[in-house]
C-alpha cells in the first residue's frame, strides 16, 4: 500500500504500510543518502515506529510473534535507540495467554556501550543478564549489517545465547548469516537500491549527497 504526500522535510516522500497491520508504516524519502558504509537512493524513516509510544506498542505486538509461544527470552539487547520498542516487546512476551512461553517472566532490557574501537561492551553489573541467557537482539535498521554483526559478536563474547534477531527494516537477508525477523524489507520498497560507497551509481553520475543517515535519523548536507 503506497501513498504520495508532502513531508516535514519539505521533500516528497511516500508511505509504505504493512499489509497485515496498516497502522504500521515507514516513510520513504527519495534522494542520495549515505551511512558511511553504503549509499542508497531512499532513506527509510522508521522514527514513528520506534519513537511514538502508541505505534511502538503495535510494533512490539508484531515483533513478538516469532517468539511468543516458542522462545524463552531472558534479555533483550537494544541497539540503534530501540529501547522503547524493547520495553513493549518484553511486555508482550511476558503476557499471560494460551501458549505463551514466558508468562510473568522477568526480561531485562539492556543497551551495550561502544568502546573506542567501536565494539559493543557491557559494564560488569550487566554481564549476568547476558552470560548463559537467552537473548534477543533488537535493531531498527539493518542495512550493511555491520552494527548487527558487532552486536552479535558482543552477545557471543559475553556468553549469551542468541535466540533471535529482530529489526524494523532489513535491506536484504543476504547481508546477515542469521535470520532476521524484520517488519519491513527492501522487497516492500519498490525501486530501493543500495550500493557500496565506492560503487554508487549516483556518486558516479555526480549527484550530490542529500543526507547522512545514522541510527537516530538523518542529518541534511544541503
List of residues contacting Zn ion (CB under 5 A): 39, 200, 202-203
Do 105 and 93 meet the contact criterion of CB atoms below 8 Å apart?
Answer: yes
Q: Tell me whether residue 87 or residue 202 sits nearer to Zn ion (CB atom).
A: 202
**In the chain, how many H helices and how many E strands?**
5, 15
Cβ proximity to Zn ion: between 39 and 50 the closer is 39
Tell me which residue has its CB nearest to Zn ion.
200
Q: How far is CA 135 from the centre of its chain?
A: 16
Closest CA to 194 of 13, 33, 45, 47: 33
Q: Which is nearer to Zn ion, 146 or 207 (CB)?
A: 207
Residue whose CB is less far from Zn ion, 63 or 213: 213
Q: Whole-number minimum distance, CB 39 to Zn ion, in Å?
A: 3
Least distance from C-beta 144 to Zn ion, angstroms?
Answer: 14
Judge whether 102 and 133 are in contact, CB under 8 Å.
Answer: no
Q: Which residues pair with 14 in a beta bridge?
A: 4, 28
Q: How far is the CB of 41 from Zn ion (least distance, A)?
A: 9
In angstroms, the CA 148 to CA 124 distance is 22
* 156 neighbors 122 (Cβ within 8 angstroms): no
Q: What are phi and psi of 85, to 5 degrees?
A: -65, -35
Give the separation between CA 167 and CA 50, rounded to whole angstroms. 11
- Residue number with CB closer to Zn ion (159 or 208): 208
Closest contact distance (angstroms) between CB of 185 and Zn ion is 21
> Minimal distance in Å, beta carbon 3 to Zn ion?
27
Amino acid at each position: 500500500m503506497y501513498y504520495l504526500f508532502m513531508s516535514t522535510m519539505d521533500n516528497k516522500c511516500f508511505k509504505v504500510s504493512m499489509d497485515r497491520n496498516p497502522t504500521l508504516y515507514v516513510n520513504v524519502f527519495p534522494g542520495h543518502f549515505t551511512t558511511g558504509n553504503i549509499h542508497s537512493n531512499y532513506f527509510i524513516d522508521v522514527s514513528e515506529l520506534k519513537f511514538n509510544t502508541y505505534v511502538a506498542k503495535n510494533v512490539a505486538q508484531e515483533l513478538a510473534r516469532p517468539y511468543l509461544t516458542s522462545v524463552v527470552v531472558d534479555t533483550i539487547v537494544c541497539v540503534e535507540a530501540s529501547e522503547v520498542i524493547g520495553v513493549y516487546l518484553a511486555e508482550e512476551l511476558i503476557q499471560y495467554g494460551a501458549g505463551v512461553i514466558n508468562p510473568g517472566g522477568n526480561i531485562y532490557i539492556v543497551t551495550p556501550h561502544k568502546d573506542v574501537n567501536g565494539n559493543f561492551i557491557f559494564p560488569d553489573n550487566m554481564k549476568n543478564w547476558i552470560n548463559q541467557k537467552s537473548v534477543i537482539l533488537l535493531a531498527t535498521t539493518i542495512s550493511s549489517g555491520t552494527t548487527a554483526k558487532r552486536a552479535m559478536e558482543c552477545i557471543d563474547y559475553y556468553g549469551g545465547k542468541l535466540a533471535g534477531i529482530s529489526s524494523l527494516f532489513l535491506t536484504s537477508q543476504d547481508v546477515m548469516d542469521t535470520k532476521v525477523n524484520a517488519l519491513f524489507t527492501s522487497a516492500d520498497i519498490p525501486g530501493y537500491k543500495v550500493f557500496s560507497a565506492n560503487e554508487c551509481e549516483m556518486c558516479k553520475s555526480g549527484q550530490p549527497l542529500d543526507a547522512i543517515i545514522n541510527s537516530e535519523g538523518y542529518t541534511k548536507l544541503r
